[in-house]
Structure 1
Amino acid sequence: MDRTFGSDSMPSGPVNKHTVLTVKPLRCLVPVFPVQPDSNAPPTSNFASVPPTGPFPPGAAPFFPFYSSNGSQNKPGSGRGHPIPSPVPISSFKSPVSKNGDVGSSRRTTRAHTLADEDDYSQSDGFENSFDRDNVEIGSDGNVKKQTVRRKTRNSGENVPDVDLDPIVAQLLRDFNLLEIDTRRQADSDKEYVDHVLVVYNLLRRKIAQLDDTKPAKNGAIRRADLKAGTLLMYKGARANAKKRFGGVAGVEIGDIFFFRMEICLVGLHAPSMAGIDYMGIKASGEDEPLAVSIVSSGGYDDEGDDGEVLIYSGQGGVQRKDKQVMDQQLVRGNLALEKSLHRANEVRVIRGLKDVANPTGKVYVYDGLYRIHESWIDKAKSGVNVFKYKLVRVPGQPEAFTLWKSIQLWKDGVTVRPGLILPDLTSGAESQPVCLVNEVDNEKGPSYFTYIKYVKYTKPFPVISSSSNCGCSIGCQPSTNCPCVQRNGGYMPYTSLGVLMSHNMLIHECSSSCDCPHNCRNRISQAGLKVRLEVFKTSNKGWGLRSWDPIRAGGFICEYAGVVQENVMDFDDDYVFDATRSFAPIEPMPSEEPVKFPYPLIISAKNEGNVGRFMNHSCSPNVYWQPIVRENVNGSYLHIGFYAIKHIPPMQELTYSYGMVSADRGGSRRKTCLCGSSQCNGYFY
């Protein structure tokens, strides 16, 4: 028996999943990308016929950044030498509607509204996600003209000069070779280009969040640094894989992780920032036929995704959020694209949204590789309406991604034993989390003996850097206050509420034992110990290395380098040493032409006493960088070395940092062959 999807009446009762399905042709549906919309047509719930520049039907607001701050509508192609890139196909995005029905704009008088994706996830990660679109000024050429943020000290009422974001964006793009966009590389990118886009995005996002942190909250304002940073980069054309495609995406590897939907858009993995299904049209028998290119399964619908090789995916539409009306799903847009992909058997990229353990309101998006749709049917949702179901099966022969996450969880729960386990905790309980020792390569039972210590040891402290008093913040240091510890950090909090470092290449002043703030103060992140579950493992050719069972955010604290401070700089030589006198490439542009200088020639030996930091290997393309941290009390200054993630690091990826370069008179025969395997490898290190 034939059953037609998309008909006015949906079947009731039990459904035969093996029924032959008849699909309506495209000419029966609203075009996906209409050339000329009918402005007199009544508005639909999808606004599928609205182009980015309008005109907009009643009740629809334009998606920022398609709307100019002065009320004029930006024309496609009005950018400097290239059209304004669209982060979201207009056919798959429903813009927020203001309470009074007016079309939103980026003017300061416009009321802001919270955005949520189709899975009812607002992309919140606590403090970091802050987006206030009222402050953006768009020029007539479609580029961001100016972004200002006014800071005001809450207690004193002292006004601080406005901060112009445009020079910050330009400097970031220049430092990462993204200022002059290579359209060919933008359309078909590589790993280096993708990494640069993501690093710039996260540096900019955290800088915006740091600036927003100093502003008093406004009623109705949306603070979303993730959306704001993504929008700015989209305007500048700083995106990767702008050309939509089937199959894999250049520069994006299976198992890569993302903490923001805008990141997925910027690298070309999944274009819609909110919709769960991405698709593109192809010509078939003279008609435009939509085929799915990617889906995001993040738990908003009744998906069944615990099996690492099979995903039962629910269609979009119909079943909306709890506060919305529910109705039967229709075979249009993404649903139709999935149905067409079933018959065409094309590969579909799958991104799984998993719970972020470090943040209860956030998610981690894992690229799980390519799937094919094997079956589709109509099912009854819990609400009683009809929904489409699609069975996707993972293409064999791909690297582990979601299945690896499942295995790690079994190790954590004690259900299974970590293969190659030698010691369950080499710290002997010194750390808040165990650090296991693993060897799956040979029969070596562990590294040479050393005493495990958590912090750096001093024979005597350095002189006090500043004479300011310590804080009396009994509930913990807060931004935009007269707290002396905050003021020593330039008036900013160095960390977000999730413990993510906001900016680099500056000396971090953390609270010390002389401060009155509690141990969980936001300005004591490096003092709280390990934040992620680490393991020391035997590498194939570099001795012992370090990696994490948990995903690590860009800017996330990993550990500090513990050991014994050496007083004599020149008479020192061993394989377990951190030498701050070496030269290191900066992670982000300096705030001025004068680079930040390390206050003291700190050298730490971890040969006999140390922590997990001693096992971190060198790489010419590292994913970790070090940061000087100072804690001052009445007796003196104590310098520490903290390790932070340069970019998001997936589980079980080796943690590496650059050992830096030494002067010629100190190098000599200590040069070693580098085995990092990076495309940027120098061939040696010290």
Structure 2
Amino acid sequence: MDRDLGSEPTPIDKSTVLDVKPLRFLVPIFPNAASASTPQPTPFTFTLPSGPFPPGVLPFYPFLVQDGSQRYASGAQNPNVDFGVGGSIPAPVPLNSFKTPSTSHPNGGVNRRKRTHRGTVDIEDDDYSFSPNQSGQNGSASGFSAPGNDFEIGSTGKRKGGRPRKIVPENGEDTFDVTPIMDSFLAVFKIHDFEEFRRSIGDTDAAQTILLVYDLIRRRILQLEEAKGISSGVSRRPDLKSGAALMAKRDRTNKTRPIGRIPGIEVGDIFFFRIELCVVGLHAPSMAGIDYMSFKDTGDDEPLAVSIVSSGGYENDGDDADVLVYSGQGGVQRKDGRMFDQKLERGNLALQKSLTRGNDVRVIRGIRDNNNLAGKIYVYDGEYRIQESWAEKHKLGCNVFKYKLVRVPGQPEAFSLWKRIQQWRDGTDTRNGVIIPDLTSGAESQPVVLVNDVDDERGPAYFAYAPRLKYSKPFVTSNFTTGCQCLGGCQPGDTACPCVRKNDGALPYTSLGIILTNKYPIHECGMNCACPPDCRNRTSQAGLKIRLEVFKTKDRGWGLRSWDPIRAGSFICEYAGDVVDVVDADEYGNGNDDNYVFDATRRYKQLESLHDDDSAGVGKSPFPLVISAKENGNVARFMNHSCSPNVFWQPVVCESNNDSYVHVAFFAIRHIPPMQELTYDYGMVAPEKVDKGKKNCLCGSTKCRGYFY
């Protein structure tokens, strides 16, 4: 309010409530530099937080560019900038940040930034950026954060509007030292012994091992954070922490990022986290939908697209299994509704150049995860070629680039298989070769179809379907404990819960039945516990959660596979049957025709590598358990042997009164695509028995030892 200098001050009514709205943003004012077009510059220029900034002027703390990325304005090369206030100020917090970045990591944590061949850029994330297919200004060097698929852990941290809540641990800290966890797994799997060419070029073993180590680190971080109460009521990002840790140590593969096929990655492979695409080199940027690289020809750098991720951010037409109409990057800002045309630059230009040159482009399709609505499953659908491109008006009025990609013929099924399985479920298509729609006769919560599309055999020899293990007598427990009183189910970090204490103070599963522990046996809630049947600590007791199929193989009898994608660590089933008296266990199976035997007394190599060195009984049976599924059994009896299995087993103990009942639970070693056979290693017998019961192995693995028992 203007007033004369000599007048009396206007009295202020302090009882009045003013309707004041906060400013959306501040507009810094900088001196306007002279130029050829303005030889007599105006005293000042007004600059939006997103720039452009006058020459020599850095971004004004704490403002950043508002393009949905977490990059700094042009000219700001060092994120720790001296703003003239007596020292370096930490990098400003992005306006759309979901976590406050830490500038120092005294406990060995890693700074979530990525060093690329074009410099250092901040992490980006397609689920939290404004433009779904937005690419970083450095093309493929777009950082390596990933959409969160870890919202299954039973906390109340849910995304609202596509963004997770800020990570705020109860103890006030927002960092977690992953270095000891990571180093232990790297040592067990000897990642540092990989030759440099396996890191740069890659192969199947390198890719699978790195993905396995990544997921083991991620799950272990998840478990420890839960146990420490770091995630009460909020969401965590262990996927980012484990991925960032591996990237920082350069423990990845396929660094050369070739055009076309990626060694070690097969068409149809699935991924549950965007950062997994990065660590195996399938798609380098974890936020940007378009990955491209420079191609030198005629002396100039020309961008060529190497891969795209179609995850539903834009209105991509991806219903056709062999044709994808892909929208370019940039354009409409989803947050504030501003509209502007897409530009033929960066990823868009790379796609246009790939159309001209006719190079293959890898396509990864993002599909909703029905078991975890907060996340997606990324399916590698193989190589495509861009057939045509055009620009069209978006429904909001701006111009958008469109690219029509056609799948290269002769590749294995991937996305088309997913569509056909969905038709089987919906009843709009018929599964060929069905013998029995449900061989369990309703004994399981999920039907298990029996299929033979190979020959005329009408099914396996008769057996009675039994969903659970049958004991003649239980094991006697010497250190029996009373059951829990967790009426709402056992909770992570509850030190008063005896079941949590028996599992070293942490629950062994997520709420989706994904195993978190590296130690065995697992102690599940038993008959004396007051927790409900859906308690997280009763995962193996809940029965089948995956739609399975018993099918006739070409050369190995009957086998087992799934219609559903199976996430690494997921519970699959238990081995049901009749427990053989341990007195006869040494002789059982010698000279009889029982081919449906599970012998826990054997050595199981994959168990040794998956468990900590200090685990009791590594390489040994914690209980002398032998199971016969010849007369009574479930789907597990059809799982074939493989020297490179995708399934492993864990002993699970349930107590009742003073007795213990040991069950054998199977879990996925890695992500398993639909219709891929489920196999486990049958184990090795004692040296004195090596000449008894040896059978020829037909698993076809590159690591096949030629026989099994």
Conservation of the 8 A alpha-carbon contact between 2:178 and 2:245 = no
Q: 1:595 to 1:527 in 2, by over 3 A?
A: same
1:285 is displaced (CA, Å) by 2.8
Structure 1 CA distance for aligned equivalents of residues 642 and 360 of structure 2: 35
Q: Larger radius of gyration, structure 1 or 2?
A: 2
Aligned equivalents of 1:71 and 1:491: distance in 2?
26
| Cα deviation, residue 464, structure 1 | 2.1
Aligned pairs for 1:133-282 within 5 A: 165-217=178-230, 223-282=236-295
Q: Is the 8 A contact 1:61 1:95 kept in 2?
A: no
Partner of residue 506, structure 1: 520
Work out whether residues 51 and 90 of structure 1, in 8 Å CA contact, stay in contact via their aligned partners in 2. no
Q: Is the CA contact (8 Å cut-off) linking 1:181 and 1:238 kept in structure 2? A: no
Whole-Å separation in 2 of the counterparts to 1:267 and 1:506: 30
Q: Distance in 1 between matches of 2:397 and 2:343?
A: 15
Q: CA separation in 2, counterparts of 1:116 and 1:642?
A: 40
1:414 aligns with 2:422: no
* 2:659 paired with 1:625: no
Distance in 2 of aligned mates of 1:666 and 1:71? 53
Contact 1:129 1:226 in 2 (8 A): no
1:349 aligns with 2:374: no
Q: Partner amino acid for 1:657?
A: Y
Alpha-carbon distance in 2 for matches of 1:530, 1:539: 22
Match of 1:298 among 311, 320, 340: 311
Equivalent residue, structure 2, for 1:388? 401
Correspondence 1:650 to 2:673? yes
CA offsets 1:462-518 (integer angstroms, 9 cap, x no match):
112532210111111101111111111110010012210012341111111221111
Match of 1:437 among 431, 434, 450: 450
Structure 1 residue aligned with 2:705: 682
Distance 1:163 1:306, change over 3 A: closer
Match of 1:106 in 2: none
Residue 126 of structure 1 deviates from its aligned partner by: 1.1
Residue range with higher mean Cα deviation, 498-507 or 610-619: 498-507
Asked if the contact 1:461/1:635 (under 8 Å) is kept, the reply is no
Question: How many angstroms does 1:547 deviate by?
Answer: 0.4
Code of the residue aligned with 1:659 in structure 2: it is Y
Aligned residue for 2:104?
70
Contact between 2:290 and 2:309, CA under 8 Å: does it hold in 1?
yes
What's the counterpart of residue 523 of structure 1? 537
Distance in 2 (alpha carbons) for counterparts of 1:674 and 1:39: 70
Deviates more, 1:660-669 or 1:435-444: 660-669
CA distance in 2, matches of 1:181, 1:618: 27
Match of 2:151 among 107, 118, 126: 126
**Counterpart contact for 1:89–1:272, Cα < 8 Å:** no
Compute the RMSD of aligned alpha carbons. 3.3
Q: 1:270 to 1:397 in 2, by over 3 A?
A: same
Give deviations 1:256-299, integer Å, cap 9, x for gaps.
Answer: 00000010000000000111110001123322111111000011
2:604 aligned to which of 565, 584, 601: 584
Range with bigger deviation, 351-360 or 321-330:
321-330
Gaps of at least 5 residues in structure 1 are 1-37, 97-113, 133-148, 153-161
CA contact under 8 A between 2:58 and 2:75: conserved in structure 1? no
Match of 2:588 in 1: 572
Tell me the residue number matched to 1:634. Answer: 657
Distance in 1 of aligned mates of 2:513 and 2:645? 21
The amino acid that maps onto 2:580 is Q
The one-letter code of the counterpart of 2:529 is C
Partner of 2:695: 672
Query: What TM-score results when the alignment is normalised by the length of structure 2?
Result: 0.78
Q: Residues 451 and 549 of structure 2 are in contact (CA less than 8 Å); yes or no, is this contact kept in structure 1?
A: yes
SS of alignment partner, residue 578 of structure 1: strand
CA contact 1:87–1:271 (8 Å) conserved in 2: no
For residues 281 and 98 of structure 2, the distance between their equivalents in structure 1, rounded to whole angstroms, comes to 19
CA deviation string 1:394-451 (max 9, x = no partner): 0111110000001111111111111111111111111111111111111111110000
Distance change in 2, residues 1:489/1:244 (3 Å): same
8 Å Cα contact 1:622-1:657 kept in structure 2:
yes
Q: Is the 8 A contact 1:628 1:639 kept in 2?
A: yes
TM-superposed CA distance for 1:635, in Å, is 4.6
- Correspondence for 1:613: 636
Deviation at 1:384, TM superposition (A): 2.5
Structure 1 residues 507, 286: CA separation in 2 closer, same or farther (over 3 Å shift)?
same
The TM-score with structure 1 as length reference comes to 0.81
**Residue in structure 2 matched with residue 138 of structure 1 by the alignment:** none
The alpha-carbon distance between structure 1 residues 340 and 55, as it changes in their structure 2 partners (threshold 3 A), is: farther
Residue 3 (structure 2) aligns with:
none
Decide whether the 8 Å contact of 2:339 with 2:397 is kept in 1.
no
Does residue 1:560 correspond to 2:574, yes or no?
yes
Distance 2:472 2:703 in 1: 39
Distance verdict in 2 for CA 1:51–1:685, change over 3 Å: farther
Q: Do the aligned partners of residues 71 and 652 (structure 1) sit closer, same or farther apart at CA in structure 2, a change above 3 Å counting?
A: closer
Q: Secondary structure at the match of 1:86?
A: strand
Q: Which amino acid aligns with 2:598?
A: F
Unaligned runs of 5+ in 2: 1-54, 84-90, 134-145, 158-167
Provide the rounded CA distance (Å) in 1 between the counterparts of 2:105 and 2:604. Answer: 47
Q: 1:458 to 1:60 in 2, by over 3 A?
A: closer
Q: Secondary structure at the match of 2:381?
A: strand
Structure 2 CA distance for partners of 1:452 and 1:555, relative to 1, 3 Å? same
The equivalent residue for 1:11 is none
Same amino acid, percent of matched pairs: 54
Structure 2 distance, partners of 1:244, 1:216, is: 40
Query: How many residues are paired up?
Result: 599
In the alignment, the residues of structure 2 paired with residue 271 and residue 52 of structure 1 have an alpha-carbon distance, to the nearest angstrom, of: 22
